[in-house]
Amino acid sequence: MSNIREYKKLWELLIFDKRFNGVPKEKQMEISSFAHVSAEKLKDLDAGEGDVRLISTGQFNGYTTEELAGAHLNTGEIITIPTGGVANIKYYNGKFVDSGNIIGVARSKDIKLKFVYYYLLFNREQLNSFFRGASIKHPYMPDICEMLVPLYSINEQDNIITQLGLSQCIIEKQKAQLKELDTLAESIFYDMFGDIVTNENGWDVSRLEEDCEVSSAKRVLVEDVVDDGIPFIRGTELTALNKSISSKDVRFTMFITAEHYERLKAITGVPKIGDILIPSINSDGITWIVDTDSPFYFKDGRVIWVHVNFNVYNSWYLKYTISKMLQTNYKTLTSGATFLELKLFIIRDLLIPIPPLQLQQQFAEKIEAIEHQKTLIKKSIEETQKLFDYTMDKYFG
């Protein structure tokens, strides 16, 4: 934009807490200093509350107290770049304990650190391309330090930060609302059915296979996958479907032809609305209730199909029950040398309590009302995210 004052390289804007191989010494005349702990130690410090932020390289974010942080306590306004994995950059200002990050601070008062953070966030794809390695990738700092950052006046930087920060704050609050609604749903489930894993209410119990057929798909070979056609679902897509407003909002990347789909459908049948699909690698207890009659097929071995018997179970009750059992007993229910995986016979043998169908349906009505509220919030998040992305593109695109 016309009011860009100049471009500067990242090393001209930030002072890092490490010297990097391949970066000339004259570009790192100053080095900042921060304490770091191991990932295990970081999680051990998590107190669930406190004013000291625990900053990891991944998604874990906890809090602790100054007393627990002890000699590991840091204070300051920082940007963090993970030393391994992907470019999960973070911004923080305050007291913190760090694990596994490269930490950058502003080199002068002419640059707002949060402005640089937003620029790097906008260019995360480029930042990711500078992570190298065969297995675990690491940031190649000679390239990262040369990234060009557009600079505006201090007032304009503040204006950009305010605009982006407002959208980000709204999104964070809306995501917190979604978590509260999920907690409410869990509470309703417990209030109505008790501890379903131990069946504390003493409902009649039946093996899942006795009331519902539990099966998988016919194998689809790699050469059968095409660029367009009928969606082909794996565990990855199931996770996205479980989080989405509806299946219409999920972008599929693998397909089979309509002719192949019809052949498979004739052999195995296909899931119908209300059936449940379960990823085989699934420590989080992910279960998706089919919400569409649009054609799709799924991967054998990686997806388990529960043909719900609506005379015995309501889909929402069965979804929550299976999820609870997987979350609670995943390690004892699974097998595998390299990763823990659910097998068909495990799901077939699940002992499912059977409350009165009317009670299950009452639960479903409450959950559907909550899901409606979640849908409205998710749509609002999407709109706010569009505004956030537009603003980012306006100043950094």
CA neighbor of 290 nearest in space, from 302, 306, 301, 310: 306
CA neighbor of 35 nearest in space, from 19, 55, 59: 55
> How confident is the model over 157-174, as a mean pLDDT?
95
**What does the mean pLDDT of the chain come to?**
93
Confidence of residue 301 (pLDDT cuts 50, 70, 90): confident
Strands (E) in 327-371, as ranges, are 351-354
Phi, psi of 226 (to 5 degrees): -125, 175
Residue pLDDT, tens place only, 212-232: 999 999 999 999 999 999 999
Residue pLDDT, tens place only, 66-88: 999 999 999 999 999 999 989 99
Q: At what angle do helices 357-396 and 113-122 cross, to 10 degrees?
A: 110
| Distance between first and last Cα of the chain | 9
What distance in Å separates the CA atoms of residue 161 and residue 2, rounded to the nearest whole number?
18
Q: Is the pLDDT higher at 360 or at 110?
A: 360
Q: What percent of the chain has pLDDT over 90?
A: 81
Confidence of residue 335 (pLDDT cuts 50, 70, 90): low
Confidence of residue 338 (pLDDT cuts 50, 70, 90): low
What distance in Å separates the CA atoms of residue 360 and residue 189, rounded to the nearest whole number?
10
Residue pLDDT, tens place only, 21-67: 999 999 999 999 999 999 999 999 999 889 999 999 988 889 999 99
What distance in Å separates the CA atoms of residue 322 and residue 301, rounded to the nearest whole number?
18
What distance in Å separates the CA atoms of residue 136 and residue 86, rounded to the nearest whole number?
9
Supply the pLDDT for residue 236: 86
